[in-house]
A and B are shown apart, each in its own frame.
Chain A
Amino acid sequence: MMNRLAINIAGLELSNPTMLAAGILGISGLTLSRVAKAGAGAIVTKSLGLQPRAGYPNPTIVQVESGLVNAMGLPNPGIEHFTQEIKFTRSVAPLIISIYAFSTDEFAIAAQKAVKIGADALELNVSCPHAKKTGADIGQDPKLLEEVVKATKRSVKKPVFVKLTPNVDSIVRSAKTAEKAGADALTAINTVKAMVIDIETAKPILSNKIGGLSGSALKPIAVRCVYEIFDAVDIPIVGCGGISTWQDAVEFLQAGASAIQIGTAIAQKGLNIFTQVNEGIEAFLEKKGFHSVKEIIGLSHKSK
């Protein structure tokens, strides 16, 4: 029987449209493999750089009413050290390595190294809201964004996903810039820049003071971003932001996402969330008489 959930995105064959979001668990090959076995159609590593990076001291995460605010500070052992992790992820699901760097040249080198150690695709972190001279500092500057995507595309043949920040005037402009520079797909969105202050002590709680908001508070913002980007570009979009149920996933698909990423919701629902979301999407497709998940991508645009 045909797998209704199968989807090809930028040349990657996914058995289903759920992916692990970058930054979540992706520091260990064995946990990435566990996520794939739990049902994720693709796995994305934590953002890796050319040098090891310790990240920020605790507190690095704060619970708010409808999500989490985090400033981990991109802790990672460096791309080369990750070689010893990657052997555990072989053939479980397509592996997307998230990379960050501090210049266009560094992005090109990091991309080559990531492909060399076994990435099936890359996701460029040009959207982390709490690291200096990388992440959103690049994604918020259209010229820099264009140069980074171009340099990366020139350096590797594997598909390049560009993860966008919502902390800009126009995410549509960022999306168009990335597409024009050669991006094969877009991931939308990274966290929204946020902070939390403890009123008893009058202190910002995160050690970095500023972090990024994830979780359900983000969902309507992310859905809007995906919807607007879908109208503006021809490359596939991976929806990300506050997805915790199959209904959320379907909403993103109908907004225009070809696949979706799950992160924060793992805290509440555990790793079974991937299977739960997939089963829900499949039952929905069957109930509505769709033969493939592809038929609902961008469906909401047709009812204009």
Chain B
Amino acid sequence: MSTITQKINFLRIVEIEKIVRESPTVKTFFFADELSAQGKPGQFIMVWIPGYDEVPMSISSTCSDDLVSITVANVGEATRIMHKQEAGGILGIRGPFGNSFSPVKGKALLVGGGTGIAPLVFLAAELAKLKTKLTFLLGAKTKEELIFLSYIKAIISRTKGKINAATEDGSFGHKGVVTELVETTLAKEKFDKIYACGREPMLYKIFELSNMHKISLQMSLERIIRCAIGLCGSCTIGKYRVCADGPVFTSNQLQEVVNEFGKLKRDFNGTKISV
């Protein structure tokens, strides 16, 4: 007698079908998994690199033939091993876990930084189906690291939306950080909802801007995830568990945990440290 929660939590071994290089540091891995393919934008899966580690990854796309993708930056030991893999390699998958972005009709502002762009691209594809008018702002260190640019352009052109980018070195678009684009955009335009994913200082700035302009907001947070099913407490922010109550939070929820949001996270031993 297994419940849905148990079913999604069982480890499945999958074969990598395809790997796409998105930038010098980012690759997208495609594999077939029926349960993950039912995942929604914002949800994550736990990815086991056999013999090494298990890491949480946002779903970056799903396909009708059960094909799913995750978009992975080469930032640590586990992701370095993943980046060395080729099609035919093996991964262990459980999930999808957590809540998801709730799609809005009307006008949406999407703000993604670095690999935080990936789950928002998945969301943008869903929003486009609802004919939501999209403004997509993306930021990265350099032009090369602006992932999914042409794919986003294609979605945007279908919805008569807008796209704007910022790079820290000025190699593409606005020279600076993406929150500066958010600031100027919100000064000129109203939106029904803001969606954001990226590093926490960026998210906190957007949270402040959304409060100032009184626009409802959903953003995806990142913490250390171990169990992914709301038990171990590794990922808590205030009273919330990122894995089970999130990873997507609203402005009201973020207001409740404002003593930690943008400031503190927990280390592997549970000590609060600066984000």
- A residues engaging B (CB < 8 A)? 23-28, 30-31, 33-34, 46, 52-55, 57-63, 65, 68, 70, 72, 75-78, 81, 84, 198, 200-201, 203, 205, 207, 263-264, 266-268, 270
Asked whether B231 lies within 8 Å of A267 as measured between CB atoms, the reply is yes
On whether A268 and B3 interact (CB within 8 A), knowing A46-B233, A205-B48, the answer reads yes
- In Å, the complex CA distance between A207 and B236 comes to 22
Q: Taking the complex as formed, is B53 at the interface, i.e. its CB lies under 8 A from any CB of chain A?
A: yes
Q: Taking the complex as formed, is B193 at the interface, i.e. its CB lies under 8 A from any CB of chain A?
A: no
- In Å, the complex CA distance between A76 and B272 comes to 11
Q: Within the complex, which residue of A59, A62, A77, A203 is in contact with B269, where a contact is CB–CB below 8 Å?
A: A77
Q: Taking the complex as formed, is B92 at the interface, i.e. its CB lies under 8 A from any CB of chain A?
A: yes
Nearest opposing residue in chain B for A24, CB measure: B231
On whether A34 and B239 interact (CB within 8 A), knowing A201-B50, A205-B92, A263-B231, the answer reads yes
Min Cβ gap B175→A in Å is 39
Which residues of chain B are within 8 angstroms of A59 by Cβ–Cβ distance?
46, 48, 53-54, 92
Which residues of chain B are within 8 angstroms of A263 by Cβ–Cβ distance?
231
Q: Within the complex, which residue of B9, B13, B51, B269 is in contact with A76, where a contact is CB–CB below 8 Å?
A: B269
20 sampled A-B residue pairs with Cβ under 8 A: A25-B231, A25-B241, A27-B232, A27-B233, A28-B270, A52-B269, A52-B271, A58-B54, A59-B53, A59-B92, A61-B226, A62-B11, A65-B6, A75-B270, A76-B269, A77-B270, A200-B13, A201-B90, A203-B51, A267-B5
The number of residues on chain B lying at the interface, defined by a beta carbon within 8 Å of a beta carbon of chain A, is 38
Min Cβ gap A170→B in Å is 30
Min Cβ gap B202→A in Å is 25
On whether A63 and B233 interact (CB within 8 A), knowing A27-B266, A54-B269, the answer reads no
- In Å, the complex CA distance between A81 and B266 comes to 12
Asked whether B231 lies within 8 Å of A264 as measured between CB atoms, the reply is yes
Which residues of chain A are within 8 angstroms of B269 by Cβ–Cβ distance?
52-55, 75-78
Min Cβ gap B99→A in Å is 13
- In Å, the complex CA distance between A61 and B94 comes to 11
Asked whether B226 lies within 8 Å of A27 as measured between CB atoms, the reply is no
Which residues of chain B are within 8 angstroms of A201 by Cβ–Cβ distance?
13, 50-51, 90, 92
Asked whether B271 lies within 8 Å of A81 as measured between CB atoms, the reply is yes
Interface residues of chain B: helix, strand, loop or mixed (majority) = loop
Asked whether A25 lies within 8 Å of B232 as measured between CB atoms, the reply is yes
Q: Taking the complex as formed, is B275 at the interface, i.e. its CB lies under 8 A from any CB of chain A?
A: no
Residue-wise, chain B 251-275 has the 8 Å CB interface mask toward A (1 for contact) of 0000000000000001111111000
Asked whether B229 lies within 8 Å of A33 as measured between CB atoms, the reply is no
Nearest opposing residue in chain A for B227, CB measure: A61
Interface residues of chain A: helix, strand, loop or mixed (majority) = loop
Nearest opposing residue in chain B for A267, CB measure: B229
Given A28-B236, A55-B268, A68-B231, 20 further pairs, Cβ under 8 A: A25-B230, A25-B231, A25-B233, A25-B236, A31-B236, A54-B268, A58-B48, A58-B55, A58-B226, A60-B227, A61-B227, A70-B232, A75-B268, A77-B270, A78-B271, A200-B90, A201-B90, A201-B92, A205-B48, A268-B3
Which residues of chain A are within 8 angstroms of B232 by Cβ–Cβ distance?
23-25, 27, 60-61, 70, 72
Chain B 204-231 residues near chain A, CB threshold 8 A? 226-231
Asked whether B233 lies within 8 Å of A24 as measured between CB atoms, the reply is yes
Which residues of chain B are within 8 angstroms of A68 by Cβ–Cβ distance?
231
Asked whether B3 lies within 8 Å of A198 as measured between CB atoms, the reply is no
- In Å, the complex CA distance between A33 and B240 comes to 11
Min Cβ gap A86→B in Å is 13
Nearest opposing residue in chain A for B229, CB measure: A267
Which residues of chain B are within 8 angstroms of A57 by Cβ–Cβ distance?
53
Asked whether A267 lies within 8 Å of B230 as measured between CB atoms, the reply is yes
Which residues of chain A are within 8 angstroms of B272 by Cβ–Cβ distance?
77, 84
Q: Taking the complex as formed, is B62 at the interface, i.e. its CB lies under 8 A from any CB of chain A?
A: no
Q: Taking the complex as formed, is B2 at the interface, i.e. its CB lies under 8 A from any CB of chain A?
A: yes
Min Cβ gap B70→A in Å is 16
Min Cβ gap A55→B in Å is 6
Q: Within the complex, which residue of B5, B10, B46, B239 is in contact with A31, where a contact is CB–CB below 8 Å?
A: B239
